[in-house]
Structures are given as structure tokens and as C-alpha cells.
Structure 1
């Protein structure tokens, strides 16, 4: 099983027709043949197809779960990449209650989550980054940053040359496959936000335990996304996290690492598993390095020092909710799992730490799209630009 990290929302591997056939159990040519497409909306036929497909998938998953629980979970301790203390453990209701009383409800756990929204037009791109830090004692703080991206002014001998240069630059920026395609926008939306969440955990919070979203050693931070400033700040912040605040737990919201999540599906409510350290993940980042050698040297030093000290695990808070991956310092992994489970049982139907969802809701309330775009429309009106540059459409997914 691979702990491959996703590099971006659209960076999925396309393996060709064979992969399509294995995934969807039909030839790509058949899917593309319009004769196989239904005309109109036949709700009865659609629902029957859904019931059939879901029924088969669920039955297969139940069979797989039984095999994994009986044959694979007992072998976690002996896996080649197993971390110290690898195996399956159970958190008792009494332990959950103790974590509620002594840590969560007393405000000794603070969680951080962030949001980014963007407005893109020909003359100007605006990205708003918002971060919220919360505990069950109330909101610990909200933090925001706004980035205004204008093309670098081009000095040309005459207006014609200047206009031509702008047209070429903007067209190059929007072409797929170009090395610089919107890299600055992606950095602003993901890299800087990911860094800010961890920096706020380190610098702004006071609680004994800190909770974050995603992998603490995110790909865009260990590589700096090719930007020296982001790399230096990220490695400094992550070093402080490890040295000064090792009582942390991170839980990703995305369904990454589906192989490990398949293992987690075999857990019962209240169980968690310690799997492996981030050594393999760090090695994969270094092997696929695409940036300067000086940055690689700094990243290598960090990976060798700290990746062995962070473990990846699984937990399941409820039998009615999916398993979750978590990351923690190896010295505090068991308590980190207890904190994650205790927070997640507060909404057993979701099985995800409620503190992170509360932080996300605080972000959407303070820095969400509606208020953001409303202020921008007002600013355009004040600039007497009407809406000629305003793009109210969202990209198709």
C-alpha cells in the first residue's frame, strides 16, 4: 500500500483505457457511444441501477472487511514499515469521558481550519485566506490575508508592443501543460493557507493539545511548492511544532490513502490502529523532487530528522461512520487517537472531529464566498466598472 500524497485537486494519474476498464467495468468506447446513453430522465431506471450497484459494492466491502479484520489487522505489528507500537487498540467509554472532561470541554484542545476563496478577472485576481482557531470554550481567534495579483507591469516602447506582450503573457498563463500555469494562484490558495494553519497552531494557540486538518508535513510545505520563502518558513514552523508542541493530532478531510482507509473499514467503533511513520512519505517527496538542489538539501535534513517521529494511524468513532486517518507525534500517538475519537463521537453520524468542523464553519461565516463576492461587487461599483470584468460563473468540475 502506498501513502502517496495528492499533489492537487486535478493531479490524478490517467493510466489509459485498461485502467478505465478495470475501474468502471466497461470499455471506454462503450461509454463514449451515444447509443448507450439514456434519453431524458427515467427516475425508476436510475434508482434501480443505483440500488443494484450499491448493493453489490456494499456486499463486496463487507466480505473484504471480514478478511481484513481476521487476517490483516493482527499482522500490523509485523509489517516491514510498522512504527513502534503498531497494532490495533480500543478506547473505552470511560477513557472517552475522561478526555471530554479533562481536555476537550475544559478548553485544553484547540483546533485550526482554514478557507480560501478567489475572484479572478482579466485585470486582477484576488484571493482571500481565512483561518479560524477554536476550542469548546469559544473562538480563540480568526486570521485573514488578502492577496491581489496583477501582472507585472511591462515596459514597452509603444502601446502596441505592450498590449501584445500582455495578450501573450495571459494566454501562456491559461494554457494547460505550461510550467507556470496559475502556479501563483495555487500557491496562494493551498500552500500559504496550509502554512498559515500550522503557523497559527504553533504561534497563536495556548492549549495543551492542538488539532489540525490534513497531513502535518504536507507536500506543498516540505517542497515549498518551489518557493524558497515558503520552504524556509514551513520548515521553521514544522520544526517548532515538533520540538515545542508535540501534543498534536491532524485529521485529513479528504479521502486520501484509500488503501489504508480500507484497513480502517475493518475497525470497530472506538478502535484505532497505529500503522507506520512518515519516513516512506518523506522519501517519496525527496525522490520526486523537481526544484532547486539547495532546497532539496534543507528538505532532506528535515525529512530524515522528523519524519520518523510522526506516525500515521486510523481510527473509527462510530460503526455508522467511515474510518479516518490521523497523524501524531510517536510519543503521544495513543492519546492523540483518544482525543480524535472523543471529539468525533460528538457527532457519531459523521465520525470526524467536530472541533475541525466548528473551525470550518467559523471560517465560512467570517470569510466565506457570499460576503467576499459581495464586497468585491460593491468595490467594482465604486470604481465605476459596473460588472464588465466580474465573472460570476464557477468552473465546471
Structure 2
């Protein structure tokens, strides 16, 4: 395959013989063999194929053989993965103008560390949340922290608590009050997650994990957008989280999120988002096939936003009448066309990682995220995100909230009445 070197030392595929009209993911997926898990599952339905707990050591030989073979096969296929990727990127419908595979030099990484990362030009944000669910009360605590390497690293930290009680005295008739109370509590989801209010689509809304997560990640991205003062902003997860685009059942959250994310992605532009994990095994495989200090610019992210509304509740007439569906479609076209999905690998020990950046600054972003990630040779994950996470968890210690709630319950004479069975198991 002919490769053409660009003036800045980057490489791009100059010819793609035999390339199809499919994207790189479709072409690459065709090389995989069928999954063998189904056969393993069918065998496991017969208990005679199981091994007694006292003889589990007899399975160690196969375990070692399977692990060694899997790791060896993964290493052997890596060059083929990159070859297919180079061919596929040239013809992929969702490719970016910057799509390609690039290799950074140690000098470029060191320069990014000195001039950006350690020079206060980069701030990272992360959040934490803890929920204490009891029968009479649910409490959610959300904390957000922004930090950098400049000075002592201390940045702005904010927190918020949400409370949900079932017993709210709205009725003069005691019988009517009890009936309404029992009906409301009957709508609770498992594990004492309460709900009884209604979202904009007329469906019951809850103080659910999705809602609390949505508030936390909204706070993280709003802090980066409106409170951070550094040129570069580093976030954890996706720049366009599903929870924010759908609003977790609330139109006001969805609309506020779309406006805020537009300011960050289309106006500020100098952002980097790194998720802890990605559900697409093809993207993960490509990232692991890279060599150390390599990164690949894959494609735009229009399909991510499109997946939010295609075939989901967003296609209900309610969302179209409210105008929210069209706003989401416009957002996906404008923002998804500029936000780029990339992969990188910081060291020979670390797994490949994924990051998102703006198309206009994707190569600067790659240098910055690579520089911060090489500081953790084994993890290959941005160190500043980990610092923000540890700072946030230290400021908003998760066990303290539960201890305080249970201490108050003990003081009121109910130390154990509202604890679930597992929490009292010795």
C-alpha cells in the first residue's frame, strides 16, 4: 500500500485499491470469526459438564492455554487491523478531513507537557455522586471538581444534594392522604428508587440513577464550559452524553444541555473528552492495534446523536410537536459533524484509549492527551482526570453521607428499621 507523507510528518493512505463503499468498521468486522460463546453456553446448560468446586484447580491448564492463545492471536492480527483501517478510512462515509493514522515523536509529547499540560493551559473536570436510599427518604449528593497542574492544583469545587420524600401533607382528609401516599410509593422502582412526578412526555419520572448521573455530567460539562479559564478543557466520558441529549425525561434539561454543549464544542472548540470504556469492540480493537505514541483520527460522531432519536421514544409525536426532536437533529448535524472520534495508545504496556476532539484542533488535542497519558505508563489514561477524580472523592467522601443519614435515624430511634438485608449481613 502506498503511503504519502504530509509536510508535518503525518501519514495518510494515498491509495485504496479495491475499497468498497462501506466504512472502516463494516470492512473490519467482516474479518472476525463467529462468536463461540453460544456453544459454551449450550454446554453449560448440562450440569454434568460442570466441575466440582473441590476440583476447580483441574481447569487451570485450559485457562492458561486459552489466555495465552487469545493474547498471541490478538497481537498477530494487529497489523492486519491497521492495514484494513487505512484502506477503510479513505472511503468511509463518516470520515473526517483529518482521518488517518499518525505517530507522535517523543519531542512533540515532551513539548506538549512543558507548554500546555504543566503550564496551566489544561484543566480537567470530574464528578462524583452517591445515593442513600431508605424507605422514608432518598438523598443524592453530587460533587464536581476542576483542577490543573498549576500551583497546588486546587481548582473550583461545587456540590449539591437532592432530597426525595414520599409523605408530603397536601390533603385535609387523612384517608385520602394515606391512599395517595400508598399509590405513590407503589410506583417506586426496585431498590427504593422513588418516583411519582411526571416528565414532559407524561410518563412517571424518578429520582433515578439516570437522572442523578445526568445532573452530574451536566455539572461537569457546564463547569468546563462556563467556569474553566484555561484554553484547553479535559473531560471524562463523551462530549455528547446520551443522558443529556435525551434530558432523562425532562425537556428543560435537554434544551439546556444542547445550548451548553454547543458553546463548548462549536464556540470554544479546544476540548478533549476521554471515556473510561467504549461499548464498540471494533473501536477498542483498533485502539489496541496501535503502536505506542500512535493515534488515529477515525470519523465524525453524527451517528452517535442519530442513535439517540432513531428508533427511540424521541420519535413519539410529543417530541416532534414540542420542537425538541428537530433541535436534536440539528444538534447532531452541526455538532456531530465537527466532533471527531479518535483512538490513541500511550505506551507498550497500556491499552489503547479513545478520545473526542474538535476537527479543527484534533492534532493538538492528540499531543495533549498523549502527553498527559504517558505519565501513567501502565494505565495510559490522562493523569489529570485521575487527579480530579481523587480530589472530588476526597472532598465529597461517599461514606460520610450514608453515615450521617444513619446516625440521624439512630437518634430518632430507627437505627435498623430502614436498612436493607445486605447492609446488615455479617
Q: Judge same fold: TM > 0.5, yes or no.
A: yes
Q: Pairwise CA RMSD of aligned residues?
A: 2.6
Larger radius of gyration: 2
**Offset at 1:325?**
0.9
Q: Which of 352, 373, 398 in structure 2 is aligned with 1:344?
A: 373
**Offset at 1:332?**
0.4
SS at match of 2:337: helix
TM-score (norm 2): 0.81
SS at match of 2:160: strand
How many residues are paired up? 376
C-alpha spacing 1:45/1:304, structure 2 compared with 1 (3 Å): same
2:219 maps to 1:196: yes
What do residues 54-99 of structure 1 show as CA deviations (whole Å, max 9, x unaligned)? Answer: 1222122123212112333354233222111100011110011111
C-alpha spacing 1:346/1:274, structure 2 compared with 1 (3 Å): same
What do residues 134-180 of structure 1 show as CA deviations (whole Å, max 9, x unaligned)? Answer: 1112021211111111237375675455444434433332269x996
Structure 1 segments unaligned to the other structure (5+ residues):
4-20
C-alpha spacing 1:66/1:105, structure 2 compared with 1 (3 Å): same
**Offset at 1:186?**
2.3
After superposing the two structures, state which structure 1 stretch, 282-291 or 257-266, moved more. Answer: 282-291
Structure 2 segments unaligned to the other structure (5+ residues):
1-22, 26-33, 196-201
The equivalent of 2:304 in structure 1 is: 281
Alignment of 1:215-230 (within 5 A): 215-230=238-253
Question: Matched residues in 1 for 2:405 and 2:53: separation?
Answer: 40
2:160 maps to 1:145: yes
Choose between structure 1 and 2 for higher RCO, CA contacts under 8 A separated by at least 6 residues. Answer: 1
C-alpha spacing 1:381/1:152, structure 2 compared with 1 (3 Å): closer
The equivalent of 1:70 in structure 2 is: 83
**Offset at 1:203?**
1.3
Q: Which of 73, 86, 91 in structure 1 is aligned with 2:99?
A: 86
User: Is the CA contact 1:2–1:257 (under 8 Å) kept in the aligned structure 2?
Assistant: no
SS at match of 1:85: coil
What do residues 162-221 of structure 1 show as CA deviations (whole Å, max 9, x unaligned)? Answer: 444434433332269x99687431243211111111000011111110000111011111
The equivalent of 2:128 in structure 1 is: 115
User: Is the CA contact 2:347–2:374 (under 8 Å) kept in the aligned structure 1?
Assistant: yes
SS at match of 2:97: strand
Q: Which of 113, 119, 124 in structure 1 is aligned with 2:137?
A: 124
After superposing the two structures, state which structure 1 stretch, 163-172 or 317-326, moved more. Answer: 163-172
The equivalent of 1:39 in structure 2 is: 52
2:123 maps to 1:100: no
The equivalent of 1:328 in structure 2 is: 357
TM-score (norm 1): 0.87
Question: Matched residues in 2 for 1:170 and 1:320: separation?
Answer: 51
SS at match of 1:80: coil
User: Is the CA contact 2:125–2:235 (under 8 Å) kept in the aligned structure 1?
Assistant: yes
**Offset at 1:112?**
0.6
User: Is the CA contact 1:154–1:165 (under 8 Å) kept in the aligned structure 2?
Assistant: no
User: Is the CA contact 1:120–1:391 (under 8 Å) kept in the aligned structure 2?
Assistant: no
**Offset at 1:224?**
1.2
